[in-house]
């Protein structure tokens, strides 16, 4: 489809930079424009890679959830992950969209991390689960880094 979503976003950015921002004198309006400009930069970086990044993240999250469910299904902190994985071959028996599947897995991963003991002797299982989940979160941050840092290096809101 032409123009591409990225081209449209970049045209909006150019218009803001060339026409709108130079004439805005109100401090609050200028701050709002900087915020909008920063978010548009982020969207321009994100739009081309979001679908592939979501697929890769879903694959990684499901692999980690499946491994945890297989090895630690009896552990209370991961019981919801185990139930999600057991519900279907892709963890989404209700036909969830890729975005909804990702949000569901993120909620389960966050809940599992909160449910693991953080003080005292957490036990080898809890330590291994935590390491697996943190490894996944580190990989997720690495996947997203290139579309976050360049966009948010400009002026603060």
User: pLDDT (tens digit, 9 = 90+) per residue, 18-31?
Assistant: 999 999 999 999 98
* Cα 38 off chain centre by: 18
Query: Where is 57: in which H helix or E strand?
Result: helix 50-72
Once rounded to an integer, what is the mean pLDDT over residues 48-76? 90
Residue 148 structure tokens? 């976050």
User: pLDDT (tens digit, 9 = 90+) per residue, 71-96?
Assistant: 888 888 888 888 888 886 554 556 78
Q: What percent of the chain has pLDDT over 90?
A: 43
- Tell me what pLDDT residue 14 has: 94
Instruction: List the chain domain ranges.
Output: 5-48, 51-145
- Tell me what pLDDT residue 52 has: 92
């Amino acid at each position: 489809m032409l123009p591409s979503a990225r081209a449209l976003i970049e045209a909006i950015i150019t218009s803001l930079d060339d026409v709108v921002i130079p004439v805005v004198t109100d401090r609050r309006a200028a701050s709002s424009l900087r915020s909008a400009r920063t978010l548009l930069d982020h969207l321009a970086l994100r739009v081309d890679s979001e679908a592939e990044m979501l697929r890769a993240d879903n694959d990684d999250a499901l692999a980690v959830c499946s491994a945890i469910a297989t090895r630690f299904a009896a552990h209370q902190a991961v019981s919801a992950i185990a139930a999600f994985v057991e519900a279907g071959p892709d963890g989404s028996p209700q036909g969830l969209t890729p975005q909804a599947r990702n949000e569901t897995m993120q909620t389960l991963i966050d809940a599992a991390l909160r449910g693991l003991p953080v003080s005292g002797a957490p036990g080898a299982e809890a330590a291994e689960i935590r390491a697996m989940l943190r490894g996944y979160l580190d990989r997720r941050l690495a996947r997203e880094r290139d579309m976050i840092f360049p966009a948010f290096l400009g002026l603060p809101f």
